[in-house]
Amino acid sequence: MKTRLLSLILAQLNIFFSISHSRYYYLKKRQRLWEGILIAGSIIILALTLAFGVYKLAQGFCSQAALLNQEALTLTTGILAAQFLMLILGVALVISVFYFSNDLPILIPLPLKPWEVLTSKFAVILANEYLGLLVFIAPVFVAYGMRADVNWAGYIPSAILVFLSLPVIPIAVASILAVILMRIVGFTKRKDTLTIIGGFLLVGLIIAGQLYLQTRLSAPGADEEFIMRMLARANSLVTVLGRQFPPSIFATHAVSLAGTSKGLLNLCLFVGISAFSFYLFLVLGNQFFYQSVLSGFEAPKGKSRPFVSRAESAQAHERTPILSLAIAEMKLFSRTPVYALNGFIGFLMFPVLFVVLLVMGNDPEMAKLWGSLRAMPEFHRIGSLLVAAYFFVLVAFSGIPFSPFSREGKAHIWFLKSQPVSGQEVAIGKALGAEIMVIIGAIPGLAVFQYIARLHVSSFVIGVLLGIAASYSFCVFGVLLDMARPMLEWTDPRKAFKSNLNIIFGMLIGAAILFGIGSLIVTLLKRGYSGLMAQAVSGGVVALFLAAGLKLLQLAADRLWMRIEL
Partner 1 sequence: MSQHANRSLLKLESVSKTYRGSPAKAVDHLSLEVMPGEIFGFLGPNGAGKTTTIKMIVGLLAPDHGRIIVDGHDVVEDPVSAKMKIGFVPDYPNLYNRLTGIEYLNLVADIHGVSASERSNRIEGLLSMFDLTHAVGDLIQTYSHGMKQKLALTGALLHNPPLFILDEPMVGLDPRSSRLFKDLMRSHCGQGYAVFFSTHILEVAERLCDKVGIINKGKLIACGSMDELRRLSKEADESLEDIFLELTLPEEADST
Residues that bind partner 1 (CB under 8 A): 29-31, 192, 299-305, 307, 310-321, 323-325, 328, 331-332, 335-336, 411-412, 414-415, 417-422, 562, 565-566
Provide CB contacts within 8 A for 539, sequence distance 6+. Answer: 466
| Whole-number Å distance between alpha carbons of 138 and 51 | 8
| Whole-number Å distance between alpha carbons of 539 and 222 | 44
For the bound state, the minimum distance from the C-beta of residue 287 to partner 1, rounded and expressed in Å, comes to 27
Q: Give the residue with the Cβ less far from partner 1, 212 or 415.
A: 415
Could you give the C-alpha distances from 356 to 207, 348, 394, 542, in angstroms and in order?
Answer: 9, 12, 19, 31
Q: Give the residue with the Cβ less far from partner 1, 300 or 518.
A: 300
Q: Give the residue with the Cβ less far from partner 1, 167 or 493.
A: 493
Q: Give the residue with the Cβ less far from partner 1, 4 or 412.
A: 412
| Whole-number Å distance between alpha carbons of 558 and 555 | 8
Provide CB contacts within 8 A for 388, sequence distance 6+. Answer: 463, 464, 466, 467, 470, 538, 542
For the bound state, the minimum distance from the C-beta of residue 27 to partner 1, rounded and expressed in Å, comes to 12
How many C-beta atoms surround the C-beta of residue 26 within 10 A? 18
Q: Give the residue with the Cβ less far from partner 1, 419 or 530.
A: 419
For the bound state, the minimum distance from the C-beta of residue 41 to partner 1, rounded and expressed in Å, comes to 22
Check: CB of residue 199 under 8 Å from CB of residue 336.
Answer: no
Q: Give the residue with the Cβ less far from partner 1, 223 or 312.
A: 312
Could you give the C-alpha distances from 293 to 29, 96, 122, 125, 286, in angstroms and in order?
Answer: 37, 12, 16, 18, 12
| Whole-number Å distance between alpha carbons of 166 and 164 | 6
362-369 contacts: CB < 8 A, separation 24 or more?
none
Query: Is residue 565 helix, strand or coil?
Result: coil
Where are the strands (E) in 225-359, listed by range? Answer: none
Residue (of 421, 395, 428, 416) closest to 513 by Cα position: 395
Q: Give the residue with the Cβ less far from partner 1, 153 or 566.
A: 566
For the bound state, the minimum distance from the C-beta of residue 174 to partner 1, rounded and expressed in Å, comes to 25
For the bound state, the minimum distance from the C-beta of residue 76 to partner 1, rounded and expressed in Å, comes to 44
How many C-beta atoms surround the C-beta of residue 494 within 10 A? 22
For the bound state, the minimum distance from the C-beta of residue 339 to partner 1, rounded and expressed in Å, comes to 10
Q: Helix 261-297 vs helix 168-186: angle between axes, to the nearest 10 degrees?
A: 20
For the bound state, the minimum distance from the C-beta of residue 334 to partner 1, rounded and expressed in Å, comes to 9
For the bound state, the minimum distance from the C-beta of residue 500 to partner 1, rounded and expressed in Å, comes to 19
For the bound state, the minimum distance from the C-beta of residue 205 to partner 1, rounded and expressed in Å, comes to 27
Q: Give the residue with the Cβ less far from partner 1, 3 or 418.
A: 418
| Whole-number Å distance between alpha carbons of 103 and 79 | 33
* Helix, strand, coil distribution of the chain in percent, nearest 5: 85, 0, 15
Q: Give the residue with the Cβ less far from partner 1, 226 or 414.
A: 414
For the bound state, the minimum distance from the C-beta of residue 324 to partner 1, rounded and expressed in Å, comes to 4
Q: Give the residue with the Cβ less far from partner 1, 336 or 406.
A: 336
